[in-house]
Amino acid sequence: MDIFWRLILAHLIADFTLQTDAVNRMKRKGVLGMLVHVVTHVFVSALLIYQDLFRPWFSVWGFELHGWQALGLMSVVHFLVDETRVYLIKELKYRDNTFNFLADQFAHFYFIFLFSPVDVFKNPLLIQEKWVIIAACLVLVSHVATILIYFIEKDLNEMQFPSFDQKYFMIMERIVMWAFFFAGGYWWIPFLLLWALQILYIRKKRIIDVSNVNFFISVSSAVLFGLVSRYAYYGHL
């Protein structure tokens, strides 16, 4: 079960944190860029599950599949899924929108589940490693939220990808709000509310352009993944 969640974490890191704007442009231009992206996935995944790479994961029609073989299959499928998305957007002129983005991520998660040693009838899909939960929440509240906000704003208001300053300013804001949830007790809640309000003040002063969508999703994601991380860390809310 831990292997599956570690692979999910590896996917989040490689597909969001390590997929810079330059890498994203490269993979949409040609196969070489896509290979760089997929190799990054392989490297991060192997790093997180290195102890299980040469162990048998499961059997299919009498054939025993080891970790490195399953990782190889996942890499091939990841390449095909991403190439399909690029083809649909570039050649068939499908809109690169929120639905497209979510469908792409669903496909990746599905194939990670398919090739992972998971038996849902014997073991529930529960995460037993605290650090995996917290690390995944950090990626979700920072880089994943950035991309989700971009696609929603693009669909609603045809907005462009945020500038460097806006992107990393809001990432920092979300991480600070998320980090409040690791404090003991509940004394920090008023300070969390004040921190959220200062984003509105910054918007009013036009220091950084923050839309209503950006503000709502930023605060909501920080609270949601903050609660998940707090429960993982303390065992209670």
Q: Which class for 20: exposed (0-12), middle (13-18), buried (19 or more C-beta within 10 A)?
A: exposed
| Amino acid symbol at 64 | E
Give tens-digit pLDDT for 104-163.
999 999 999 999 987 655 665 567 789 999 999 999 999 999 999 999 999 998 888 888
Poorest-confidence range of 50-59, 129-138, 145-154, 200-209? Answer: 200-209
Note the residue count of the chain.
237
Q: What percent of the chain has pLDDT over 70?
A: 96
In sequence order, what E strands does 15-99 have?
Answer: 56-60, 63-66
Poorest-confidence range of 14-28, 112-126, 129-143, 213-227? Answer: 112-126
Q: Which two tokens stand for residue 223?
A: 């609270």
Q: What percent of the chain has pLDDT over 90?
A: 71
Instruction: Specify the residue for token string 């690169």.
Output: 96
pLDDT of residue 120: 56
pLDDT of residue 1: 65
Residues 6+ apart with CB under 8 A from 43: 14
Poorest-confidence range of 18-22, 36-40, 228-232? Answer: 18-22
Poorest-confidence range of 7-11, 117-121, 175-179, 224-228? Answer: 117-121
pLDDT exceeds cutoff 80 at 210: yes
pLDDT of residue 217: 96
Domain ranges of the chain: 2-127, 134-234
Span 77-103, mean pLDDT? 93
CB 210 within 8 A of CB 170: yes
